[in-house]
Amino acid sequence: MEFKKINKIDLMVDDFIKNNTNEKFAELIEELINTNVILINKELGDNNLKKLNDDAITPLVITDSLKQNYIPIFSGDHQIINDELKKMKKVNYVFKDLCNDSIVNNDYIEGYVLNPFTQGLKLPKEVIKIVIKYINEEQNEKAVS
C-alpha cells in the first residue's frame, strides 16, 4: 500500500532507510527532537507500563516478531492506516518530551517505533538515551547563557 509522504520527517526516514548512514540518522534525530508526533492513548490492563509524563496517558504498545514491545509514534495522521487505531484517542507530543527516564528504565518497553505500519523505524532505548543527553546539554547551554 502506497502512502503519502507529506512531511519532512517522512522524507528523512525514507532517506535514512535508503542510505543507512550514521550521518542520515543523526540528521533525522536532530529534526525529530522538536517535531510533533502522535501517540495513541490506549488503556491497558497491564500494570507493567506506567503512565507517560504524569499526563494520564497510557500508550498503545505493539509487539514485534522478536516479542519485543515498542510504543508506536506517528509523524502525522496520514501514517495511521489502521482503521481501528484511527478511532482511538490521539495525543500530540513533541518527540523530546516523550524521551525520558521512564521509557529508558522500563523493562517492558524496548523503545519507540516511528510510523510502524509504513516505515517501521525502531528507536530503541539507546537512541532515547542519546536524545535525553542532547536535551540536557541543550538545557545546560541555555542556563549558562
What confidence tens digit (pLDDT) does each residue in 30-64 have?
Answer: 999 999 999 888 754 444 444 554 556 778 889 99
The reported pTM is: 0.82
Residue-number span of the structural domain to which 30 is assigned: 8-137
Chain CA centroid to CA 52, Å: 13
* Domain contains 87: yes
* Domain contains 17: yes
* Domain contains 144: no
Q: What is the DSSP string of 35-57?
A: SEEEEEE---S-TTSPPBTTTTB
Q: Which helix (H) or strand (E) holds 9?
A: helix 8-19
Task: Tell me the three state secondary structure of residue 80.
Answer: coil
* Domain contains 145: no
Q: 77-114 pLDDT, tens per residue?
A: 889 888 888 888 888 999 998 888 788 888 889 999 99
d(CA 22, CA 38): 25
What do you get for the CA distance between the two ends of the chain, in Å?
A: 49
* Domain contains 70: yes
Residue 74 has a CB neighbour count (10 Å cut-off) of 22
- Residue 115 reports pLDDT greater than 90: yes
